[in-house]
């Protein structure tokens, strides 16, 4: 299947058990969402790698659990804390190397502290340069109530950093922030490298994608295809967004059919 799933779907199930669920459902690719500092220990990464290798599943991206503190850690004027935070995130970069993951998902800051946007961009560039030395890439996700929620933020970062700025497009986060995915696609085009998928209904804003949902996936896939998108699509839900885990597999098959149709023209 072209469509993958995030281990975040099964939170608060332990990360390794969530990955095993995804692998046993027959997914070819996934995102691993870390939920505790101890999960960055080499012994734990080896446990994840055993599952990955046994099932032949491609780990596309890693998601740090401490996204809520990235603004304070990385994007304040206290230079020593920034340096320490970069050093700390090397553990994620090492995990990405071990699991053959390409992307580290970053939420960034919820607000500017005592630096300006130019300094924010410089900090992000330095973080990403460190990640590149490990063979991976930090990609900034659009997240409601964060600076990245706005297309204006995305436009600024892309203008200042060019193709050094990569983005994770999350459709539910765009909707929650009152924006359309195409607003980000128009700015970033092929510098969108990773996409998080979910659906919504009149009664819930994050559900498993299906024919009963309201999100127009054919339009999304068409826009991204025309923009030259070559990344992976990952279903990322909350555990209250589905009843049975088989709904996620059914969602992937549903989305896979739409994606094939778009690609075939």
CATH value at residue 234: 3.20.20.150
Q: Of 36, 35, 108, 96, nearest to 69 (Cα)?
A: 108
Q: Pairing mode, if any, of strands 58-63 and 232-235?
A: unpaired
Task: State the residue range of the domain holding 116.
Answer: 3-264
d(CA 38, CA 56): 25
In Å, what is the CA distance from 249 to each residue of 26, 60, 171, 254, 255?
A: 8, 18, 19, 9, 10
- In angstroms, the CA 35 to CA 221 distance is 30
Contacts of 151 (CB under 8 A, 6+ apart): 179, 183, 184, 187
Query: Helices 217-226 & 181-188, crossing angle to 10 degrees?
Result: 10
What pLDDT shows up at residue 113? 84
Q: How many CB atoms lie within 10 A of CB 262?
A: 18
Residue 187 and residue 155 in contact, taking contact as beta carbons nearer than 8 Å: yes
Q: 141 and 109 in contact (C-beta within 8 Å)?
A: no
Mean pLDDT by 10 residues, the chain (265 residues): 95 98 97 98 98 98 95 95 98 98 98 94 98 98 98 98 97 98 98 98 95 97 96 95 92 97 92
Nearest to 7 by CA among 86, 78, 62, 80: 62
Q: Per the structure, how many domains does the chain have?
A: 1
Q: What is the C-alpha separation between 122 and 32, in angstroms, rounded?
A: 27
As beta bridge partners, residue 3 has 233
Kindly report the pTM of this predicted structure.
Answer: 0.97
What pLDDT does residue 265 have?
82
CA nearest neighbour of 251 among 235, 240, 238, 230? 235
**If you search the block for the tokens 């998080």, which residue do you land on?**
196
Pure H helices in 25-170: 42-55, 70-74, 79-99, 117-132, 151-161
CA 72 to chain centre: 20
């Amino acid at each position: 299947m072209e469509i993958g799933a995030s281990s975040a779907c099964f939170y608060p199930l332990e990360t390794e058990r969530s990955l095993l669920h995804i692998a046993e459902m027959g997914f070819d690719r996934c995102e691993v969402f870390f939920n505790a500092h101890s999960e960055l220990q080499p012994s734990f990464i080896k446990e994840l790698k055993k599952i990955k290798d046994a099932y032949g599943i491609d780990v596309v991206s890693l998601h740090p659990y401490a996204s809520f503190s990235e603004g304070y850690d990385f994007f304040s004027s206290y230079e020593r804390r920034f340096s320490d935070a970069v050093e700390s995130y090397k553990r994620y970069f090492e995990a990405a190397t071990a699991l053959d993951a390409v992307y580290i998902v970053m939420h960034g800051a919820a607000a500017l502290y005592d630096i300006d946007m130019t300094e924010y961009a410089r900090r992000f560039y330095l973080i990403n340069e460190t990640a590149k030395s490990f063979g991976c890439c930090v990609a900034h996700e659009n997240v409601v109530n964060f600076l990245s929620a706005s297309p204006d933020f995305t436009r600024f970062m892309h203008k200042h950093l060019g193709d050094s700025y990569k983005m994770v497009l999350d459709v539910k986060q765009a909707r929650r922030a009152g924006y359309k995915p195409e607003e980000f696609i128009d700015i970033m085009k092929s510098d969108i490298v990773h996409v998080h998928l979910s659906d919504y209904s009149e009664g819930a804003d994050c559900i498993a994608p299906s024919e009963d949902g309201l999100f127009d996936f054919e339009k999304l896939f068409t826009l991204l295809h025309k923009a030259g998108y070559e990344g992976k699509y990952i279903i990322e839900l909350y555990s209250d967004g589905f009843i049975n885990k088989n709904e996620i597999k059914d969602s992937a098959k549903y989305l896979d059919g739409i994606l094939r149709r778009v690609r075939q023209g």
